[in-house]
Amino acid sequence: MASNGPVLTERRASASDYLKFLHAWLRKPRQTASIVPSSPYLGRLMAAQIDPAGGRVIEFGGGTGALTREILATGLPADHLEVVEIDATLARNLRRSFHGVRILEAPAQSIVGDSAGGAGGYQCVISGLPLLAMNKALQGAILAEAFKLLAPGGSFIQFTYSPRPPVADVVADALDLGVERVGTIVRNVPPATVFRYRRAADIAQD
């Protein structure tokens, strides 16, 4: 009879993530977009945009580590991943769960100075931040900081619970960014769509 150990382990992890996320949402509902953490299916689609041998990755909005777990599952070395999480309790839990991963407890819009890779040092930004809930000024500040971190050709990967791109057109235009739809995960609660933002000049070279 086949073992169902991996399935049970994943379910236990999901239940633990849900409780942590619910506590975070109760403390700061405006800062946490949903009371349900990202599903493994969503995390795997986002992580699939990473080259595990391609250099550093930074995650914005680590939460319970649902996306972090899938990023590391690609084979990316732990010391090549940094996670930004402003909530102190969630950041503490991330440090306990992911040894070797650097956790940055600071706002995503001003993280370059605290990052190990610095400006231009990252192949990819993976974002679980609730961009649709933010005003255009904050969206612009976060995206501008992300693209300071990204090397030429680098990507900003963002999921959203809306079928439309999560960054306002005026913000993307001001930063000269293009957007591509990666895919939709219906096995997420609620269903989520993943978008990839890149510099328009990089897209034009494809």
Give the domain ranges of the chain. Answer: 38-204
Fold of domain 38-204: Rossmann fold (3.40.50)
Whole-model pTM over 0.85: no
Tokens found for residue 86? 């402003």
pLDDT of residue 204: 86
> What does each C-alpha distance from 96 to 48, 100, 132, 182 come to in angstroms?
25, 10, 30, 32
Q: Omega of the bond prior to 77 within 30 degrees of 0, cis?
A: no
pLDDT of residue 18: 42
Q: Is the pLDDT of residue 144 over 80?
A: yes
Q: Is 46 helix (H, G, I), strand (E, B) or coil?
A: helix
Q: Is the pLDDT of residue 4 over 90?
A: no
| Torsion sign, CA atoms 128, 170, 184, 187 | positive
Which residues does 48 contact at the CB level (< 8 Å), separation at least 6? 74
Q: How confident is the model at residue 205 (pLDDT cuts 50, 70, 90)?
A: confident
